[in-house]
Structure 1
Amino acid sequence: MEAALIPLAALLSFAIGVVATPLIASHNRGRGIVGVDVHKPHRPVIPEACGLAIVSAAVSPIAAAALIYGGMGYPEYAALTLLGLTAGLVGLWDDLKPLNPKVKPLLTALAGLPILLLHAYTPRPMLPFIGATRLTLVYPLLVLVGVAVTANAVNMMDVFNGVMPGTCGIIAASATITLMIMGRWSSAYASAALAGALAAFYIYNRYPARVFAGDSGSLFVGAMLGGLAVTGRLEVFMVVALMPHIMNAFYSLSSIGRLYERREVSSRPIRILKDHRLDASPDEGAPLTLARIILVHGPLDERGLIKAMTALTLLSSILAVLTLLVVPGVR
């Protein structure tokens, strides 16, 4: 894999995403696949499941690389292609016919199977101050759990305009740069393809959103980040970079006490004030989310809240890069 192909992957996925997103949005609106933007006072109806554009845009360059380089010792391309398609299909299933909240994590975990079956992993993760560890028996299970965690953590963060593609785009771009510095060109190529697709989708999903990714997009993106952590040996990097997403999921689940779907919760964590600003819900039964924690310090308009969540991810991504470059034992 030549380093010069990495920016080409980003440009190709970006171009596909720019074209595919409005086409899929128009199709879904015509089919009645829509959702309501509940954080707007006029509650606009927005095309849902448009994350299929992210899937098509990101997978295309990776699948092409799998066809070209698959027989040359680069199993990660085929593994990530199959992982992404599986997670995207699970998400589409959930968009069209909501899955049981206990079933969805299991199905997203299965998306990690191609990595194991194609042996696109190294069971010796690098840990801070320790270096390479040998987890030959446990690591395959950790791969499945990790993919499920990242997929569902990103899914639970996709609640405000532009937050999912914006924050995950920052993480994917940071991962690409880090992988290039470390000379892991094949994983950098795949990460660049994901970053380009997210940049294209952000154009349409940013405030005020014209499209929603749906679970087909968020589960795909989260699973791909988890897959890249494995194929690129970026386990520690991804844990640090995704910390806002992971903590949001942890607080939400611990406050409710079980796995749940947003549609199952009667009391929302955020309320809209008369001046259209967002405020933390005073209802003790509402889920404790990252957005609710931010708004405890005072109401914000939606743009302000989005900027705060994006800034936290930018900070965590910078810390992730510094962790790999500075802390002994991680590289």
Structure 2
Amino acid sequence: MSGFTIAISALIAACAYLSTIRMIPRFKDMFIKAGLYGKDLCKREQPQIPESFGVLIGCAFLVAMFLFIPIPFTFEEAALLDVKTGAKPATFPHEEFAEMIAALLSICCMILLGFADDVLDLRWRHKLLLPTMGTLPLLMVYYVNFNITTVIMPKFARPLLGYSLDIGIFYYIYMGMLAVFCTNAINILAGINGLEVGQSIVISASVLCFNIIELALGHQVDCHKFSIYLMLPFLAVSLALWKYNKYPSQVFVGDTYCYFAGMTFAVVGILGHFSKTLLLFFMPQILNFLYSVPQLFHFVPCPRHRLPKYDASTDLLHISTTEFHPEKLNKLGLLMVLVLKKLKLISWQQQSDGRVITNNFTLINLVLVVFGPVHEKVVTQFLMGLQVICTLCAMVIRYPLASYFYDT
């Protein structure tokens, strides 16, 4: 019966893909008339591009999920009917139903936040607070259904901490922080054609591959089925959006898509019980966050936009820059920039008046520091390639290497 429900999910996902492919071009003019558009600053003509299309993609995903909701519960219940009497089973899977509803509620909250951010340009403190609020239904369902806060210790820590350790409320804090990280990580690593959707497609495909492997091994079958039910329509609508968002972009996704994608990943990671594996698929986003820390926490001046600069004469991207006086930085900020300078991970131009001009601390700018000015499409392809390589590394860590640290 599991194979049947997954097949139905795949069929609905395929329909969602075809519907979204047809919808996007029809809504382009509508978004522009509503004032939801921006200029593509990395093109010579700087055309007007409709943006915030993540809200349309999120709605297509939700419609697909609403149509799918009756399928697993109706057919799973039918599968439990008594063969002789035809009597219904004594219990309905209320826990699984509550998980599905809470997951969609949290995703809806993030779509709303993302669209509000696109329209109202929210402050960063709101972007950190609201995802935390959006995660509460998810955490409540986890508390009611599971309330498992025990962490299995790696072999080298067991002589000191034992086989497992119950961390209590800190596990819920960790899950809340995971949701905040996922919803913002994709948004931070963004700004060039196709990058937000491209990295999300690779991550969702990675999660699906992991789910299929775990199902084949018979590990936590219900949890991985739940993940597949969400990931199939998400991947479908993202592929449809990719068709119009890849270089040269015909539509922009806006913050709505970034938050929608991040929360969808957080939902499957938390309720699918593979949050640590999910973080392995987020390695490029983690690297981008760590590289951005000096500016994100204002140890180094951080401009409003850190997108690379476009040179119309060569059609290439160059690093965007920030400047500061080293003596005006606090000790921790100065230490950070000196370490990055020593590792040659930032550019460094010392001016006669003591100012230092360096690149903005993003993974996109780091690519340009290492390889020099390149075309926008090449940067996107490089970062998507990095995402694929990190997925392969994650699979190696999760399977062959994990046996050295945990019991198989």
TM-score, normalised by the number of residues in structure 2: 0.73
CA distance in 1, matches of 2:199, 2:264: 14
Question: Is 1:33–1:48's contact at 8 Å kept on the other side of the alignment?
Answer: yes
Question: Is 2:12–2:233's contact at 8 Å kept on the other side of the alignment?
Answer: yes
Match of 2:194 in 1: 162
Q: Deviations over 1:35-80 (max 9, x none)?
A: 1212223222110110012212222233334445465241332122
Given candidates 375, 378, 381, the residue that maps to 1:301 is 375
Match of 2:106 in 1: 83
Structure 1: state its 5+ residue gaps: none
Change (3 A) 1:269 1:51: closer
CA distance in 1, matches of 2:34, 2:253: 16
Question: Is 1:65–1:77's contact at 8 Å kept on the other side of the alignment?
Answer: no
Given candidates 234, 240, 246, the residue that maps to 2:280 is 240
Aligned-pair CA distance for 1:194: 1.2
CA distance in 2, matches of 1:77, 1:90: 20
Change (3 A) 1:214 1:320: same
Change (3 A) 1:11 1:266: closer
Change (3 A) 1:38 1:253: farther
Structure 2: state its 5+ residue gaps: 74-91, 158-162, 216-223, 323-356
Given candidates 19, 22, 25, the residue that maps to 2:25 is 22
| The 10-residue stretch of structure 1 (215-224 or 246-255) with the greater mean CA deviation from structure 2 | 246-255
Change (3 A) 1:132 1:59: farther
Question: Is 2:320–2:360's contact at 8 Å kept on the other side of the alignment?
Answer: no
Amino acid at match of 2:55: L
Q: Could you say which structure has the larger radius of gyration? A: 2
CA distance in 1, matches of 2:305, 2:72: 50
Instruction: Tell me whether 1:270 sits opposite 2:308 in the alignment.
Output: yes
Amino acid at match of 1:85: C
Q: Deviations over 1:188-246 (max 9, x none)?
A: 12112211111111001000001111111111101111121111122122212111122
CA distance in 1, matches of 2:395, 2:263: 20
Change (3 A) 1:8 1:41: same
Aligned-pair CA distance for 1:125: 5.6
Instruction: Tell me whether 1:12 sits opposite 2:15 in the alignment.
Output: yes
TM-score, normalised by the number of residues in structure 1: 0.89
Aligned-pair CA distance for 1:85: 0.6
Change (3 A) 1:88 1:126: farther
Amino acid at match of 1:300: V
Q: How does 1:139-178 map to 2 (within 5 A)?
A: 139-178=171-210
Given candidates 119, 125, 128, the residue that maps to 1:102 is 125
CA distance in 1, matches of 2:247, 2:47: 12
Q: Deviations over 1:151-197 (max 9, x none)?
A: 01111122111111111111101101211221221211211221111
Please, what is the CA RMSD of the aligned residues? 2.6
Change (3 A) 1:133 1:165: farther
Secondary structure, aligned partner of 1:278 = strand
Name the % identity: 23
How many residue pairs match? The answer is 328
